[in-house]
């Protein structure tokens, strides 16, 4: 199992207690937390780069009414000035994508969920709507700021793993990332980039998203992911 670096903010940590792994769990409508079990799923971060391109028009019915097929996933784990190698293997066969919206935890969020086929996406969406259950998928990126009808932005903070005996006082692999999605009639581009690295543990909580944000503020951009997908059919 690989570990995904695409996860959510501290304000959504409550969901982590209810939901885990790649299976379904109660979903009050929020994306998985920064350290939920699912974030430990996909491991090697895909190489990514290539600034998201401007979108011309949203798909008919909107992004939440469409199943997408992922055509490329890349990640650069050392810099943000160029797109890295393919990371499609991180998806472990979940090469389709759908989105849901929720305002259960404050601002309305647009959240991506990966699945293995069009039918799988439709079943997940139906289960979410009817039963409130939602698999986390391999790339749960979320977007909270509506920039325009065809672009949204968001932020992701990862607190870093709890200090281990061999690394006392250190939060390993923390991250402070910016997410962007550009939506066109025939597909979309999602990009995530920012600073990632080990940070000192601080305060009562040791490894917290707050601590990660402060420690990584102003640091050079060291990781960049780009996902491209084409509109497949109506959800």
Q: What is the pLDDT of residues 214-231, one digit of tens each?
A: 999 999 999 999 999 999
With cut-offs at 50, 70 and 90, classify the pLDDT of residue 93: very high
For β-strands 170-184 and 151-158, DSSP reports them as antiparallel
The percent of residues in the chain predicted with pLDDT above 90, rounded, is 52
Read off the DSSP letter of residue 118. Answer: H
Residue 36 has pLDDT above 80, yes or no: no
173-188 pLDDT, tens digit per residue, is: 999 999 999 999 999 9
How many angstroms from the chain centroid is the CA of residue 229?
15
- Candidates 22, 226, 53, 27; CA nearest to 111 is 27
CA 114 vs CA 136, 138, 194: distances in Å: 8, 6, 22
pLDDT tier for residue 159 given thresholds of 50, 70 and 90: very high
User: Residue 191: which pLDDT band, with cuts at 50, 70 and 90?
Assistant: very high
The answer to whether the beta carbons of residues 157 and 175 sit under 8 Å apart is yes
In the chain, the largest separation of any two C-alpha atoms, in whole Å, equals 53
Position 91 pLDDT exceeds 60: yes
- Give the CA angle between residues 9, 66, 35 to the nearest 5°: 20
CA dist 107 and 40 (Å) reads 26
Mean pLDDT within 115-133? 92
Closest CA to 136 of 17, 18, 24, 6: 24
0.85 surpassed by pTM: no
Range of weakest confidence among 38-47, 58-67, 110-119, 156-165: 38-47
């Amino acid at each position: 199992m690989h570990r995904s670096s695409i996860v959510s903010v501290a304000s959504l940590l409550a969901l982590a207690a209810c939901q885990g792994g790649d299976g379904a769990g109660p979903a009050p409508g929020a994306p998985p937390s920064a350290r939920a079990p699912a974030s430990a799923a996909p491991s090697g971060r895909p190489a990514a780069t290539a600034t998201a391109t401007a979108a011309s028009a949203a798909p008919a019915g909107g992004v939440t009414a469409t199943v997408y097929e992922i055509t490329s996933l890349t990640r650069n784990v050392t810099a943000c000035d160029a797109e890295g190698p393919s990371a499609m293997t991180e998806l472990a066969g979940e090469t389709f994508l759908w989105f849901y919206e929720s305002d259960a935890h404050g601002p309305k969020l647009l959240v991506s969920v990966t699945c293995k086929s069009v039918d799988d996406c439709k079943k997940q969406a139906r289960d979410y709507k009817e039963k409130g259950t939602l698999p986390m998928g391999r790339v749960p990126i979320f977007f909270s700021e509506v920039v325009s009808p065809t672009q949204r932005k968001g932020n992701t903070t990862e607190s870093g793993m709890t200090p281990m005996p061999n690394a006392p006082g250190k939060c390993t692999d923390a991250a402070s990332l910016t997410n962007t999605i550009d939506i066109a009639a025939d597909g979309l581009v999602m990009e995530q980039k920012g600073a990632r690295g080990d940070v000192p543990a601080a305060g009562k909580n040791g490894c917290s998203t707050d601590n990660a944000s402060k420690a990584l503020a102003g640091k050079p951009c060291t990781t960049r992911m780009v996902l491209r997908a084409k509109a497949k059919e109506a959800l």
